[in-house]
């Protein structure tokens, strides 16, 4: 049986079935149900307090909404597509439950301020959840850094061995990045945490609403100053998606490193069995699927950002139905980002670095810069030193030899300035610890960073 539309008064024909199907949003915006009810309860209470509707009617409405909330929580609520969206489903159920009085709830309110109120409440909560998850990830990185101060490894540029670093330095680098992600979400919260309720359809409301009261009950920090802005703008939400996109980009980079490090060719790390999966055909395989999926899921989040940017482009003031399309991309981005942060945290917690292999790869030609700097310290201009060491590298490579195999006599052939102490440079730990500048990889600097994060995470 077709449901009577709440807005059916001016229509003489019933809605085309295609239109009903095409325009409905309840199949996805029911995700906002509990936030919508919170908004409605606050609104009803305020209507009663302001005597815009009788207090006892407000109480009946609130009781009815609370019952509906229970039904939704228990999965008993019947959602109906004919009723279009989450708001009208709940309002209709309220009227069925408490009779015509339920129809007073929508006094001084429009779905245009209602929907964005629920959406902001949802996003505020989810942003706080994401901030907490990022904290867990940062803690896992800090712990891994503490465990790996005494492991030296080669750092790469162009995916070519560049210079030795302490593995802790690597984890601390990602700690910095995820910390900035967290800061961005916190900053964005200031702009999400603003209440649009009371803006009506677009121009404000001709009943004496008390917006302070509803804001207080709903826990919003501020009230939106301009009703057109409140109902039409989505920039704070786009900003959330931009932040989510940047965070996913950072997650994809660390995923990629760990995927490479986990390969047989690198063998820098071992991923725990419980976080990897097997192949249905190749029995030897232990695949880093969680990392690959984090890397792959970035596309969904960038896609969400692009979707919202495109939806608002050229959109005339104020609310347009286009804005109904703002929800699914955000729901998907929230789910994807939370899952990706959780997955990465588990991986970092259980990751086992292979010290001997990393250490071995940190030596050799990764130490070439340091050999050049040895000559620089003896007065050779850097460019000339670079050239001399380049010749040494060429000489050894042509004989298939590693840098460690060079003798002092051979070094002297390239420059008489090389002395016994030049051989120290063949130790990657010595070389790493020479990089003592602020932010550098020397052990003392790493320990300072760890100290900083212990106090500031
Ligand atoms: N479902 C709609 C949305 O998500 C609610 C607002 C509809 N407003 C309207 N005037 N049709 O945007």
Question: Which domain-ending residue is among 302, 333, 356?
Answer: 356
Closest CA to 224 of 241, 202, 252: 202
Inside any domain, residue 218: no
Residues 169 and 258 in one domain: yes
Q: Report how far residue 440's alpha carbon sits from residue 434's, in angstroms, rounded to the nearest whole number.
A: 9
Residues 229 and 375 in one domain: no
Give the burial string for 69-91 (b: 16+ CB within 10 Å, else e): beebeeeebebeebbbbbbbbbb
End-to-end CA gap in the chain: 57
Q: Report how far residue 104's alpha carbon sits from residue 58's, in angstroms, rounded to the nearest whole number.
A: 8
* Spans of the chain below 70 pLDDT: 1-2
The CATH number linked to 18 is: 1.10.275.10
Give SS3 for 372.
helix
Q: In the predicted model, what is the mean pLDDT of the chain?
A: 96
Give the burial string for 341-378 (b: 16+ CB within 10 Å, else e): bebbbbbbbebebbeeebbbbbbbbbbbbbbbbbbeee
Closest CA to 244 of 169, 188, 301, 291: 301
Name the residue of 5, 33, 39, 324 to mutate for ligand 1: max ligand atoms within 8 A of Cβ.
Answer: 324
The CATH number linked to 368 is: 1.10.40.30
Q: Report how far residue 120's alpha carbon sits from residue 111's, in angstroms, rounded to the nearest whole number.
A: 14
Inside any domain, residue 219: no
Q: Report how far residue 299's alpha carbon sits from residue 406's, in angstroms, rounded to the nearest whole number.
A: 48
pLDDT at 23: 97
pLDDT at 284: 76
pLDDT at 2: 61
Query: Are the beta carbons of 95 and 183 closer than 8 angstroms?
Result: no
For 316, the domain range is 112-152+165-198+224-356
Residues 234 and 335 in one domain: yes
Q: Report how far residue 421's alpha carbon sits from residue 163's, in angstroms, rounded to the nearest whole number.
A: 19
For residue 163, the cross-strand partners are 155
Residues 294 and 393 in one domain: no
The CATH number linked to 239 is: 1.20.200.10
Percent of the chain with pLDDT over 90: 91
Q: Report how far residue 274's alpha carbon sits from residue 261's, in angstroms, rounded to the nearest whole number.
A: 18
Q: How far is the CA of 111 from the centre of ligand 1 (A)?
A: 6
- Please state, in angstroms and as integers, the Cα–Cα distance from residue 243 to each residue in 155, 176, 250, 345, following that order: 28, 15, 11, 19
Query: Are the beta carbons of 152 and 358 closer than 8 angstroms?
Result: yes
> Cβ < 6 Å from ligand 1: which residues?
25, 29, 85, 111-112, 115, 321, 323-324
Q: Report how far residue 112's alpha carbon sits from residue 349's, in angstroms, rounded to the nearest whole number.
A: 45
pLDDT at 270: 95
Inside any domain, residue 205: no
- The CB density around residue 66, as the number of other CB atoms within 10 Å, is 11
Closest CA to 328 of 312, 298, 297, 307: 307
Q: How far is the CA of 36 from the centre of ligand 1 (A)?
A: 13
The per-residue DSSP string of 182-216 comes to HHHHHHHHHHHSEE-TT-TTTT--SS---HHHHHH
Question: Which domain-ending residue is among 340, 356, 372?
Answer: 356
Residues 310 and 419 in one domain: no
Q: How far is the CA of 329 from the centre of ligand 1 (A)?
A: 16
Q: CA 69, 70, 72: angle at the middle one, nearest 5?
A: 65
| pLDDT tens readout for residues 222-252 | 999 999 999 999 999 999 999 999 999 999 9
Residues 331 and 366 in one domain: no
Inside any domain, residue 176: yes
Name the residue of 84, 89, 115 to mutate for ligand 1: max ligand atoms within 8 A of Cβ.
Answer: 115
Inside any domain, residue 396: yes
**Structural domains in the chain (count):** 3
Residues 341 and 268 in one domain: yes
Residues 346 and 436 in one domain: no
Q: Report how far residue 30's alpha carbon sits from residue 25's, in angstroms, rounded to the nearest whole number.
A: 8
Taking the CA of residue 84 as reference, the ligand 1 atom at the shortest distance is 1
Q: How far is the CA of 254 from the centre of ligand 1 (A)?
A: 40
Residues 370 and 284 in one domain: no
pLDDT at 28: 98
Question: Which domain-ending residue is among 305, 338, 356?
Answer: 356
Q: How big is the chain, counted in residues?
A: 457
Residues 258 and 337 in one domain: yes
Residues 138 and 275 in one domain: yes
Give SS3 for 410.
helix
317 burial type by CB count under 10 A (0-12 exposed, 13-18 middle, 19+ buried): exposed
Inside any domain, residue 212: no
The secondary element (H helix, E strand) that includes residue 49 is helix 33-49
Give SS3 for 222.
strand
Catalytic positions are 158, 279
Residues 180 and 130 in one domain: yes
pLDDT at 168: 98
Name the residue of 33, 112, 234, 326 to mutate for ligand 1: max ligand atoms within 8 A of Cβ.
Answer: 112
pLDDT at 419: 95
Inside any domain, residue 4: no
């Amino acid at each position: 049986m077709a449901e009577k539309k709440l807005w059916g008064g001016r229509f003489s024909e019933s809605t085309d079935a295609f239109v009903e199907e095409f325009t409905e949003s309840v199949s996805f915006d029911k995700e906002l149900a509990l936030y919508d009810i919170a908004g409605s309860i606050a609104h009803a209470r305020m209507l009663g307090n302001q005597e815009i509707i009788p207090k006892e009617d407000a109480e009946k409405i609130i009781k009815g909404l609370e019952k509906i909330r229970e039904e939704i929580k228990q999965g008993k609520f019947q959602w109906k597509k004919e009723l279009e969206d989450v708001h009208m489903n709940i309002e209709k159920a309220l009227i069925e439950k408490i009779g015509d009085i339920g129809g007073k709830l929508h006094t001084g309110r429009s779905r245009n301020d209602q929907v964005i109120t629920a959406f902001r409440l949802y996003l505020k909560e989810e942003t706080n959840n994401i901030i907490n998850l990022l904290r867990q990830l940062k803690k896992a990185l800090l712990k891994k850094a503490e465990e790996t101060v005494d492991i030296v490894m080669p750092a790469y540029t162009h995916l070519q061995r560049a210079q030795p670093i302490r593995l802790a330095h690597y984890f601390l680098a990602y700690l910095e990045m995820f910390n900035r992600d967290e800061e961005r979400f916190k900053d964005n919260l200031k702009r999400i945490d603003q209440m649009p309720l009371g803006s009506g359809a677009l121009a404000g409301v001709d009943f004496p609403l008390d917006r302070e009261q509803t804001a207080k009950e709903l826990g919003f920090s501020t009230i939106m100053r301009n009703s057109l802005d409140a109902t039409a703008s989505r920039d704070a939400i786009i900003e959330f998606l931009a932040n989510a996109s940047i965070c996913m980009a950072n997650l994809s980079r660390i995923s990629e490193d760990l995927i490479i490090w986990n390969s047989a060719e690198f063998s820098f790390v071992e991923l725990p069995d419980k976080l990897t999966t097997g192949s249905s055909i190749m029995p030897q395989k232990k695949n880093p699927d969680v990392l690959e999926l984090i890397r792959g899921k970035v596309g969904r989040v960038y896609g969400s950002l692009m979707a919202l940017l495109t939806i608002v482009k050229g959109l005339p003031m104020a609310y347009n139905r286009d804005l109904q399309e703002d929800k699914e991309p955000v729901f998907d981005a929230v789910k994807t980002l939370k899952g990706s942060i959780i997955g990465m945290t588990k991986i970092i917690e259980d990751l086992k670095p292979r010290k001997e292999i990393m250490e071995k790869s940190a030596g050799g030609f990764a130490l070439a810069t340091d050999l050049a700097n040895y000559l620089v310290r003896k007065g050779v201009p850097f460019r000339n030193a670079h050239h001399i060491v380049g010749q040494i590298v060429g000489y050894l490579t042509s004989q298939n030899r590693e840098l460690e195999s060079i003798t002092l006599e051979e070094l002297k052939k390239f420059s008489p300035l090389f002395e016994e102490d030049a051989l120290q440079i063949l130790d990657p730990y010595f070389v790493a610890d020479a990089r003592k500048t602020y932010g550098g990889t020397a052990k003392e600097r790493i320990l300072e960073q760890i100290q900083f994060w212990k106090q500031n995470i």
